[in-house]
Chains A and B, each alone.
Chain A
Amino acid sequence: MTFSDRIKGGIFAFDKGDDRFELNETESGEPPVFGKRRPVGAADTRADIPERIPRSIEKLQKELERRFSSDVDHDLIMRRFLIAGRTPALVVFMNGMADDAKVNEFLLRPLIRLEGTDTDPKALLNGAVEIAESATERDLSLALDSVLGGMTAVFIEGQRECILSETRGFEKRAVEKAENEQVVRGPKEGFTESLRTNITLIRRILCVPDLVVRQRASGGRNNVKLAVIWRRGVTDERLLAEVERRLDGVDLAAVTSSGMLEQMTEDCPLSPIPQMLSTERPDRAALHVMRGRVCIILDGCPQALILPVTFFTLMDSPEDIYMRRPLGTVLRVVRFTGAVVSVLLPGYFLALALYHQGVLSTEVLSTVIASRRMVFEPIGVEMLILLLIFQMIREAGQRVPGSIGQAIGIIGGLVMGQAAVTANLASSVVLIIVAASGLGNFCVPDYPTQIAASYLRLAIVIAAWLGGLLGIVAAALLAVAHAAGLKSFGVPFLAPFAPRTFRTKPLVLRGPLSGQAADDELNTAYDRRIRRREQ
């Protein structure tokens, strides 16, 4: 050991405990005096008490007719037939969800034409059923859930087990371009509403044996499934346990979007800051899974959730790594500058205009005074109104489809701005500042983060109006303190900057493609192995 190593080891090296970050919700002991500990949801108990399948087909059919209101709703198809011409059986599937042809050709026909006497479901599965993805099931509730999802169940007289076959054949959207995360360079395809298709899209990119896709109930009473995707041996097992624990806690009437799941599982649901990354790009999701993150895809939702995330993950664009390093670096510098300008510029200008005029040069002062001469409202109100109008234009542009939306943006931005200045409703300087801030906001690649940034901008404008630079300091400190205390599934939101981690790649600038395989703040098993080896 050299002298410098000794110095480093003696003075600077810390005694290391567990190098993983603490999860917020695993704090133990008595509850606090103020506030409550976040409630931990009960696990799905339905699976714990299996519902037995009646041996009598007659009884079962009546039960199903009752449960599915067959007197008025005819979507549940129940067809009685004889296996091998002897044993009564009942095939059950949902009209429209299952593919009729598949049911007829690969399930009904082989069973009816069966030669033999063994009607044990397992034997039939081996000898008759011609659909590869088939299994037996003893729990009636689970079997019916599967039927609702598009599978077909075959109940056999005298048997407690049924055969479940994959016969899904409902209409679905084809894989199309990702609409909200477009890139000039790189893959174009986006997720669809089909869970199976989405998993396939990821599997196609990640051809690794350690990729694990676990399908489970979403927690909604609408029985929609979701898939948790991770890499065994890379993703932190403790993170996985936490993901499962939080998903267990989801208990909603219906889960129809990943946004609902996000709110139910994130660390601080009331925070405007997103704590998961929502993406519609399989390549982006795959890259994050490869780095040790967990991906959750909900059936029926074309956006995947990536977790845990940090501020810097949210500021990443897929294009950063598709472009060459110098270009990617410039892109990122512009993006971060845009974000800072977006959040701080209107508030800073307002603070100077209302409290600290001496900081502005005489030229700027004269220009602003001249442009505001006939504007009737105070400069703070003017700023807020323009920000509001900008937000409205943006919302309108987003809700209106395609080219009309773009036209609204142009008309709103150019025509209304010019008209407002001409009509003395706004001064040109403030208009320029709001426009620059709006452009900066669009530089933020993640939509929820954009929204969060625009809220923060609004808060800073109000704070600047009330207290000048002091107000900005107060608002910014509150915001940064909130962000500093925020965790996404136990990973500090501002990592690896605060807290510092062993990350070797630059944060704002784009680093080399080679190097650290996983983000250090994720405490991946891979990283821990490497670190142990180094120690």
Chain B
Amino acid sequence: MGLILITAVLLLSLAGCLSPVSLDAYGYVISIGVDSGVEKKYYYTFALQRELSEQNTSGEGGAITLACEADSIFEAVGEIEGNIPYSLNFSRTGFIVMGREPAEAGALRELVTTSFDTLKIRTSAVVIVAENEAYEFIGGLFANNDANITKLQTALMLDKEKTGMDTLMSVSRLIEACSEGRFDYSSALGGYDGELITDMEQKKAESEGGDPLEDAQKGDRVGGLKSFVNGAALFSGWRMTGTLTREETLWLNVSLGELRTAVVDLVYTGGGEAEGTAISVGISPGGHKRTACFTPDGAFRVIVDVTLKAGVRQKDERISSEEADAWLKGSFRSYCEERLKAVFLICRGASSDAMRFGTEASKLMKTPAEWEAFAWKDRYPAFEPEFIVTVLNVEKYIEEDMQ
């Protein structure tokens, strides 16, 4: 019993050192934005989830945005915490949004290697490179009157999971890519449409008796979020070295076997009356295989064998089933191979192994020393993969899939 008492006293006397902080003494940073600064190195933006009771009355959306210039994230946190009545907590941070300039300068390295463990940011956070400013992108993402901005972020990720069209990758993968050198990281590329009239702005204009769409130019997108995913950013190591459009990102994902379902819009070239008309083809994965080997002359060779299930989405009476089948298995297949090759060339041009051929090379190595001697990064500029696409015409299947 004496021992129990001693234990209890010891526990109580020493345990106060664990310094608890009540959950309401924190502001929860949902997204971190990093832009180039004017006077200092960076311009940091922190988006915080606003407490629910405030959201109902303010009408300004669910986020609080705090921003300042600083040379490091720690300085920014200190600067901001000095001006708010609570501390910043990064345990719920899900997005790291990099402005294009700092991303190209390799600022991610500094952010990830120095601050993640210290600030307790989870490496499951996703990196997005904003086409222009991270500040704008974050503002555009949270500008609608959504009570729960975390759900917005989650929705983006779920969309990726569902379609496989975007390239959202966690910081864990970034660290892996940079420390191993077997592949290069690719992140989502964030676009921003400053002219867009959001749902909230429409409601506001309506309530003031105006026409919300008066200023909208014909052909512009109206409603939704000002920020959106607009392709992929290619990295070489820690630096961003290039971009892909959304359509190119689709083919990047096809080459990786990560596509779930997508629609490709192109012109029908199968001849007949329908020649030259726009056509949409639904595609989904039917198989993905990579065969890697060394040729007798020591060159590294990879054959990417992709099987796609494809089907014409909108039925054109002028195209018979046989014609569509022949076109899909002929012209469309060639088109796919060309696109894959083209996207590879863009990646290679950016010195980015976003298609992760290095992982195939590493599988051929027996020891770490052998892998390091292989010097994949040096060989990559001369590397040429071979893409073989097989198309299975499964029209009904695709339609069901798309539904």
Q: A residues engaging B (CB < 8 A)?
A: 34-35, 270, 352-358, 360-363, 365-370, 372-373, 378-380, 463, 465-468, 470-471, 474, 478, 482
- CB of B24 within 8 A of CB of A369, answer yes
| A352-B22 Cα distance, complex, nearest whole Å | 9
Counting chain B CB atoms within 10 Å of each CB, the highest count among A361, A366, A370, A467 belongs to A366
Contact residue among B7, B11, B16, B51 (Cβ-Cβ distance under 8 Å from A370) = B51
Q: How far is the CB of B104 from chain A (nearest CB, A)?
A: 31
Instruction: Give min CB distance, B54 to chain A, whole Å.
Output: 8
- Return chain B residues, CB-CB under 8 Å to A352: 23
Rounded to whole angstroms, the CA-CA distance of A471 and B366 in the bound complex is 47
B148 at the interface (CB under 8 A from A): yes
Q: Which residues of A contact B150 (CB under 8 A)?
A: 361-363
Which residues of the other chain, B, contact A353 by a CB distance below 8 angstroms? 22-23
Q: Is the CB of B23 within 8 A of A368?
A: yes
Distance (Å) between the CB of B132 and the closest chain A CB?
27
A370-B51, A465-B20 given. 4 additional CB < 8 A pairs?
A354-B23, A357-B23, A379-B22, A466-B20
Complex Cα spacing A380 to B18, Å: 14
Interface set, chain B 11-38, CB cutoff 8 A to A:
11-12, 15-16, 18, 20-24, 26, 28, 30
Q: Shortest distance in angstroms between B159's beta carbon and chain A's nearest beta carbon?
A: 19
On chain B, the residues within 8 Å of A468 by CB distance are 18, 20
Do A369 and B20 touch (CB < 8 A)?
no
Q: Is the CB of B163 closer than 8 A to any CB of chain A? A: no
Quick check: A467 and B24 within 8 Å, CB to CB? no
Enumerate chain A residues within 8 angstroms of B149, measured Cβ to Cβ. Answer: 362
* Among B11, B21, B24, B50: residue with most chain A CB under 10 A: B24
Nearest CB in chain B to that of A368: its residue? B23
Across the interface, which residues of A come within 8 angstroms of B30, CB to CB?
362
Question: B179 at the A/B interface (Cβ < 8 Å)?
Answer: no
Complex-state Cα separation, A422 to B180, whole angstroms: 58
A–B complex contacts, Cβ < 8 Å, 16 sampled: A270-B1, A354-B20, A354-B21, A356-B91, A357-B89, A358-B120, A362-B148, A365-B49, A365-B92, A366-B52, A368-B23, A369-B24, A369-B51, A370-B51, A370-B53, A466-B20
Given the known inter-chain contacts A358-B92, A358-B122, A366-B51, please indicate yes or no for A466 contacting B11, CB distance below 8 A: yes
User: Which residues does chain B contribute within 8 Å of A467, judged by CB atoms?
Assistant: 15, 18
**A356 CB contacts on chain B under 8 angstroms:** 91
Known: A358-B91, A363-B148, A365-B49. A474 touches B11 (CB 8 A): yes
B230-281, CB < 8 A from A: none
Contact A365-B22, Cβ < 8 Å, known A466-B12, A467-B15: no
Against A, the Cβ 8 Å flags (1 = close, 0 = not) of B49-92 are: 11111100000000000000000000000000000000001011
* Known contacts A358-B122, A362-B30, A363-B148, A379 near B23 by CB under 8 Å: yes
A360 vs B92: C-alpha distance in the bound complex, in angstroms? 9
Partner of A478, one of B7, B15, B20, B92: B7
Residues of B within 8 A of A373 (CB): 24, 51, 53
A456 to B53 CA separation, bound complex (whole angstroms): 35
* CB-based closest 5 A-B pairs: A358-B91, A354-B20, A370-B53, A466-B15, A362-B150
* Nearest CB of chain A from residue B180's CB, rounded to whole Å: 27
Is A365 within 8 A of B28, CB to CB?
Answer: yes
Main secondary structure of the interface of A (DSSP, over half): helix
A358 to B94, CA, bound (A): 11
- Structural contact, A471 and B22, CB atoms closer than 8 A: no
User: Are B18 and A367 in contact, with the CB atoms below 8 A?
Assistant: no
Contact A362 B18, CB 8 Å, known A357-B89, A370-B52: no
Given contacts A362-B92, A369-B51, contact A471 B23 (CB under 8 A): no
Please report the C-alpha to C-alpha distance between residue A358 and residue B16 in the assembled complex, in whole angstroms.
Answer: 21
- B8 CB to closest chain A CB (Å) equals 9
* A385 and B243 alpha carbons, distance in the complex (Å): 58
Q: Do the beta carbons of A367 and B52 come within 8 Å of each other?
A: yes
In the assembled complex, the CB of B211 is this many whole angstroms from the nearest CB of chain A, namely 35
B2, B22, B149: most-surrounded residue (chain A CB, <10 A) = B22
In chain B between 124 and 182, which residues have their CB closer than 8 angstroms to a CB of chain A?
Answer: 148-150
Contacts of A363 in B (CB 8 A): 52, 148, 150
Determine the distance from Cα of A358 to Cα of B28 in the docked complex, in whole angstroms: 9
Quick check: A355 and B18 within 8 Å, CB to CB?
yes
Within 8 A of A (CB), among B177-211: none
CB distance from A469 to the nearest CB of B (A): 11
In whole angstroms, how far apart are the Cα atoms of A361 and B49 in the complex? 11
- The answer to whether B22 touches A354, judged by C-beta atoms less than 8 angstroms apart, is yes
CA distance A370 to B4 in the complex (A): 40
Do B15 and A471 touch across chains, with their CB atoms under 8 A apart? yes
Q: Is the CB of A358 within 8 A of B89?
A: yes
In the complex the two chains form, what is the Cα distance from A361 to B149 in whole Å? 12
- Chain B residues contacting A378 (CB-CB under 8 Å) are 22
| CA A150 to CA B157, docked complex, whole Å | 84
How far does the alpha carbon of A372 sit from the alpha carbon of B122 in the complex, in Å? Answer: 27
Residues from chain B with Cβ under 8 Å of A370 in the complex: 51-54
In the assembly, what is the distance between CA of A199 and CA of B173, in Å?
74
In the complex, are the beta carbons of B20 and A380 less than 8 A apart?
A: yes
Contacts of A354 in B (CB 8 A): 20-23
| CA–CA, A474 and B4, complex, Å | 12
**Cα distance A471–B11 in the bound complex, in angstroms:** 9
In the complex, which residues of chain A have a beta carbon less than 8 angstroms from the beta carbon of B92?
357-358, 362, 365
Residue of A nearest to B91 (CB): A358
The answer to whether A355 and B51 touch across the interface, beta carbons within 8 angstroms, is no
Asked if A470 and B18 sit within 8 Å, CB to CB, the answer is: yes
CB-CB nearest in chain B for A270: B1
Q: Which residues of A contact B1 (CB under 8 A)?
A: 270
State A103–B253 Cα separation when bound (angstroms): 104
Chain A: CB-nearest residue to B86: A369
Tell me, in angstroms, the Cα distance from A283 to B148 when the chains sit together.
Answer: 57
* A362–B49 touching, CB < 8 Å: yes
Q: How far is the CB of B81 from chain A (nearest CB, A)?
A: 16
- Closest CB-CB distance, B334 to chain A, in whole Å? 48
Q: Across the two chains, which residue of chain B brings its CB closest to A351?
A: B20
B28 → A minimal CB distance (Å): 6
Residue in chain A with minimal CB distance to B16: A466
Name the residue of chain B whose CB is nearest to the CB of A354: B20
Cα A373 to Cα B85 with chains together (Å): 13
Residues of A within 8 A of B24 (CB): 368-369, 372-373, 379
Residues of chain A contacted by B18 (CB below 8 angstroms) = 355, 466-468, 470-471
CA distance A466 to B20 in the complex (A): 7
User: Once the chains are docked, how many angstroms separate the CA of A370 from the CA of B76?
Assistant: 27
In the bound complex, how far is the Cα of B122 from the Cα of A270, in angstroms? Answer: 45
Nearest CB on B from A209, distance (A): 45
State how many angstroms separate the Cβ of A493 from the closest Cβ of chain B.
Answer: 16
- CB neighbours (8 Å) of B15 from chain A are 466-467, 471
Smallest Cβ distance from A374 to chain B, in angstroms?
Answer: 10
User: Of all chain A residues, which has the CB nearest B50?
Assistant: A366
A465 to B22 alpha-carbon distance, docked (Å): 10
User: For residue B22, which residues in chain A have a CB less than 8 angstroms away from its CB?
Assistant: 353-354, 372, 378-379
Whether the Cβ atoms of A360 and B23 lie closer than 8 Å is yes
Bound Cα distance from A463 to B122, whole angstroms: 26
A60 to chain B, nearest CB (A): 51
CB nearest to B49 among chain A residues: A362
Enumerate chain B residues within 8 angstroms of A366, measured Cβ to Cβ.
49-52, 148
A355 — nearest CB in chain B belongs to which residue? B20
A425 to chain B, nearest CB (A): 16
In the bound complex, CA of A373 to CA of B89 (Å): 18
B70 → A minimal CB distance (Å): 23
Q: How far is the CA of A369 from the CA of B7 in the complex (A)?
A: 35
Q: How far is the CA of A35 from the CA of B51 in the complex (A)?
A: 55
Point out the residues of chain B lying under 8 angstroms from A270, CB to CB.
1
The docked-state distance in angstroms from the alpha carbon of A470 to that of B14 is 13
Min CB gap B60→A, angstroms: 15
A365 partner, pick from B20, B23, B54, beta carbons under 8 A: B23
Q: Contact between B11 and A357 (Cβ–Cβ < 8 Å)?
A: no
Chain B residue at minimum C-beta to C-beta distance from A465: B20
- State how many angstroms separate the Cβ of B141 from the closest Cβ of chain A: 15
